[in-house]
Every structure is written in C-alpha cells, then in structure tokens.
C-alpha cells in the first residue's frame, strides 16, 4: 500500500506541473488511487507486529514493547535496544514515530503508559527484522501474508518466531494456523502465545496469565524469559496449534456473549452461551485436527480463561452488544468504535461457518451457526438460542462418532 501511495503521489505531483500535457481525467484517477489507499485502516497497537532479537531487540506493539523492553535490559544475552516497527502516521500534527522516540509513549494506541527508554520506533518492517534471531508477530490475521511477503528474504536462516495473532484461516478444506503460514513463508520454527490478556490491563500491570505453545523446550525457556514478569505470568506447553486455535475461536464465543448483553438477558443466559461456545470450540478442534490438539490446552489461560475474560471485557463482546442495541452492521461499528480496526470474532465466525457448512456438520455447531446467521444473514439476535440442546457427552479430542 505504501508503494502504491508513493507512486501515485509522485506521478500526481509531476503531472500537475504539466496540465497542458496530462488530461484532467488522468489527474483524477491518480488522486482516486491515493484516496483509496488512505482509506485502508491502519494497524493499531493491539494488532501490530514486532520483532525481538538477540544482540538487538526489535518489536512493534506498545503493550508487548513495555514488557520485552524492560526484560531485555536485565537479560545478558540480549541487546538493550528495542526497535518498534510503527506505521508512519500523523497524530496531533506530529509523526507518531517521533512522538514515541521523544516522549516514550504511544499516545494514540496506548496513552498514559510510558515505554522504556530503550524502545525506539522505526518505520520499516524489513529494517526491524534485519539480523533478528527472535521475531514476534502480532497483526490482524487477514493481513499476515502481505506482511510476511514484505520481510521475506530479510530473515536470518537461524531465526525463531512467535505468533501473538488471535486468528486462524479456516476454509472449506480445513484449518491453517498463523504459525503454519509464518513457517511456510519464512521457513523458520514458530511458537504461539495467547491468553486472557486485555492490553490495557497488562499495561496497568494488573496480574494475569498467558500461554506459550512451543514444541522446543529449550526455545520455550527463551520465549518465557522475554515475556514473563511478576504481573504477566507465562506458562509453556508443547501444543502450538492448540494455543492458536483457542485464541481464535474464543472471539466467536465473545460475539455470542455480546448479543446476550445487548438483549439484556443476564448472567445465567450469558454463562450458558459461554459454556456451549466453549464446548463447540473443543468439538471443532477435534473435527479439524483430530488428536493434534491436546485436551489440557483448553484448561490453560489461552483456553477457558481467555474465553471468560473476552466474553466479559473484550471488544468483540462490546461491538456485538452495540450491534444489538443500535442495529448497525458490523463493518460500520468497526469504523465508528474501532477506527476501522477489524473485529476478529466477526471474521472468524464467517470462516468457521464456511468450513462446517461445506462439511455438512452445521447441526453439530448450532451456536456458531446462529452467530453467523445473525452477523451475516440478518437473523434476529434472539435466534441465537435455536437448536442449542446438543449432547456433548461423547465428545473427545479424536474424531467424534457424531461427526
């Protein structure tokens, strides 16, 4: 996008200087390109990308930058400098990059919370991953491939990555996780991190837990050393895919919980929706992956705890509640309340439905099916209860006889 914006701006400047040669319709088309690119939502702090590297730490995402920036100052194997890849935008008449580097605060996406002085903002993702041995990726999952393509060939062959992306790609053919996409493009080992982690509460250093999924026990120790603090407790498991799966599917459950809040139906009803949603998450895991996802992972912070906190405090729940109260479509609410940021639960609900519908198993996922119908087909919010009397008693994390 930056390339197209720059290209169009250069041509527009050059063409405008010669109105006798360049037709007016060509000038309008160039301006239309610039306007279209400028309308694309920018990547925010919670959906950012950052890279941490030994011998020089590099990352983006202000909440994580505060943690990693503080930790590397105490770790002898890491350089003190922390580089944040930041989208080059203007805030209050100043470049956000300059504000971060002078005031040590991301005033737009994490206001009121100072960053460590060893955190330095840079505008180029390729520069951020240069010479990095540890790369941490946090970006909306629909943008991941474009980002990876931009840094492909710039990553060390011995580098390691960890994904903090709470999303998975689900199609008619099955599931592709973010760690698989990163590994496929960059050809490096990839871990995953997910948990009951609302960014503002972490920035306020309120106690919470998170889960790292890493198949290499020694590498898991390194990742834990970068993220663990007295207020941000990290537990490591070997189930990389399970950690990712829980982090993505809980957003769909949170949308359902938001519908309940919007209808004002109370805690008993909301608890029922959370329970059914949690069991449908587990059922979908076994159907897509069989025994690859471990049952114990659902009891980690990335599982049950994240479902609970997201259904009570996350933005997926909040926008779903507003969806019921205002009647506005989800894309409009994203623009009004999230400055154009994309709601992961809404997108994932569509992907999940595509898979279960093509597999002919919608009857086994009534809650996920109802959430999809409300979001995308204009069904009334009260239809969320249709067909919820489902027996989960025979479900195990191997392909179910019911499926």
- Provide the annotated active-site residues: 250
- Residue 171: burial class (beta carbons within 10 Å; 0-12, 13-18, 19+): exposed
CA distances from 108 to 48, 91, 315 (A): 13, 7, 17
Residues 6+ apart with CB under 8 A from 115: 62, 65, 66, 69, 100, 104, 105, 106
Largest CA distance in the chain: 77
User: With b meaning 16 or more CB within 10 Å and e meaning fewer, what string describes 88-102?
Assistant: eeeeeeeebbebbbe
Q: Is the Cβ–Cβ distance between 234 and 227 less than 8 Å?
A: yes
Rg (the chain; Cα; Å)? 22
CA distances from 14 to 7, 27, 61, 67, 298 (A): 11, 10, 37, 46, 58
DSSP E strand boundaries for 44-184: 50-51, 57-58, 82-85, 90-91, 94-95, 119-122, 134-137, 160-163, 168-171, 174-177
Backbone angles phi and psi of 126, in degrees to 5: -65, -35
CA distances from 179 to 17, 136, 152, 185, 189 (A): 49, 11, 15, 10, 8
Of 129, 148, 143, which Cα lies nearest the Cα of 83? 129
Rounded Cα distance, 190 and 51, in Å: 13
Rounded Cα distance, 369 and 387, in Å: 10
3-state SS class at 126: helix
CA distances from 149 to 7, 158, 160, 232 (A): 19, 18, 17, 32
């Amino acid at each position: 996008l930056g390339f197209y914006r720059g290209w169009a701006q250069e041509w527009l400047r050059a063409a405008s200087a010669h109105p006798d040669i360049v037709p007016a319709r060509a000038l309008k088309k160039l301006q239309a390109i610039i306007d279209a690119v400028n309308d694309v939502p920018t990547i925010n702090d919670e959906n950012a990308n950052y890279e941490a590297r030994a011998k020089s730490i590099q990352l983006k995402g202000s909440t994580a930058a505060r943690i990693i920036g503080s930790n590397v100052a105490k770790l002898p194997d890491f350089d003190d400098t922390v580089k944040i890849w930041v989208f080059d935008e203007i805030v209050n008449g100043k470049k956000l990059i300059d504000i971060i580097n002078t005031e040590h605060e991301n005033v737009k996406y994490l206001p009121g919370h100072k960053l460590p002085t060893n955190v330095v903002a840079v505008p180029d993702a390729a520069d951020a991953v240069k010479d990095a041995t540890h790369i941490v990726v946090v970006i909306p999952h629909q943008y991941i491939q474009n980002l990876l393509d931009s840094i492909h060939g710039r990553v060390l062959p011995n580098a390691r990555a960890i994904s903090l992306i709470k999303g998975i790609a689900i199609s008619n053919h099955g599931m592709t996780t973010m760690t698989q996409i990163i590994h496929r493009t960059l050809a490096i080992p990839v871990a995953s991190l997910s948990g009951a982690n609302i960014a503002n509460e972490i920035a306020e250093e309120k106690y919470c837990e998170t889960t790292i999924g890493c198949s290499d026990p020694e590498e898991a120790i390194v990742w834990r050393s970068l993220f663990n603090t007295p207020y941000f407790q990290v537990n490591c498991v070997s189930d990389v895919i399970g950690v990712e799966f829980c982090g993505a599917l809980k957003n769909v459950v949170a949308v359902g919980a938001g519908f309940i809040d919007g209808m004002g139906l109370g805690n008993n009803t909301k608890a029922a929706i959370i329970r059914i949603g949690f069991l449908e998450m587990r059922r979908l895991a076994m159907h897509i992956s069989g025994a690859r996802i471990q049952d114990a992972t659902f009891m980690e912070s990335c599982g049950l705890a994240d479902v609970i906190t997201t259904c009570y405090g996350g933005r997926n729940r909040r926008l779903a509640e507003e969806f019921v109260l205002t009647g506005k479509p989800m894309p409009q609410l994203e623009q009004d309340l999230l400055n154009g940021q994309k709601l992961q639960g809404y997108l994932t609900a569509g992907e999940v439905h595509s898979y279960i519908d093509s597999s002919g198993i919608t009857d086994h996922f009534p809650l996920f099916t109802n959430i999809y119908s409300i979001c995308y087909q204009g069904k009334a919010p009260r239809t969320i209860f249709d067909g919820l009397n489902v027996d989960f008693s025979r479900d195990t994390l191997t392909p179910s006889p019911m499926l």
